[in-house]
């Protein structure tokens, strides 16, 4: 099996991200720190078969986010993300 077969969408990390951020993150727009591509978190490439979750840029493959959960703690690395734009609910 190739790595390409294991690729999922950002949507696959929705539950985990919602637990950490306490808001719906898959509709937030992220900007890649490497190539500058912008896209909703739901459209990013997710690899979830490792002990943690790795989110990569679908354009340049750079690692954007790594998230590992252990008993009693969560470790989050966001070094590859230049920015995250969170949409407020309408009227907020």
Partner 1 sequence: MELVPETPRATTLVLDVPGWPGHRAGQHVDVRLTAEDGYQAQRSYSIASPPGAGRIALTVERLEDGEVSPYLVGELRPGDRFELRGPVGGYFVWDGEPAPLRLVAGGSGLVPLMAMLRYRAAVGAAAPARLLVSARTLEDLLYRGELERLADDDEDLRVAVTLTRSAPDGWSGYDRRVDRAMLSEVLGPPADDGRVFVCGPTRFVETVADDLVALGYDPARVRTERFGPTGG
**In the complex with partner 1, which residue's Cβ is closer, 28 or 66?**
28
- Tell me the closest approach of the beta carbon of residue 76 to partner 1, in angstroms: 18
**In the complex with partner 1, which residue's Cβ is closer, 26 or 64?**
26
- Tell me the closest approach of the beta carbon of residue 48 to partner 1, in angstroms: 8
6-43 burial, b for 16+ CB within 10 Å, e for fewer? eeebbebbbebbeeeeeeebbebebbbbbeebeebbbe
Residues that bind partner 1 (CB under 8 A): 1, 4-12, 14-16, 18-19, 24, 26-27, 40-43, 49
- Tell me the closest approach of the beta carbon of residue 36 to partner 1, in angstroms: 17
CA nearest neighbour of 66 among 84, 50, 82, 42:
50
């Amino acid at each position: 099996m190739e790595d390409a077969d294991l690729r999922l969408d950002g949507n696959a990390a929705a539950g985990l991200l919602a637990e950490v951020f306490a808001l719906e993150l898959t509709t937030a727009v992220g900007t890649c720190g490497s190539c500058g591509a912008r896209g909703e978190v739901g459209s990013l490439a997710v690899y979830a078969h490792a002990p943690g979750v790795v989110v990569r840029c679908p354009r340049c493959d750079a690692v954007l986010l790594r998230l590992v959960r252990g008993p009693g703690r969560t470790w989050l690395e966001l070094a590859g993300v230049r920015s995250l734009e969170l949409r407020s609910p309408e009227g907020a």
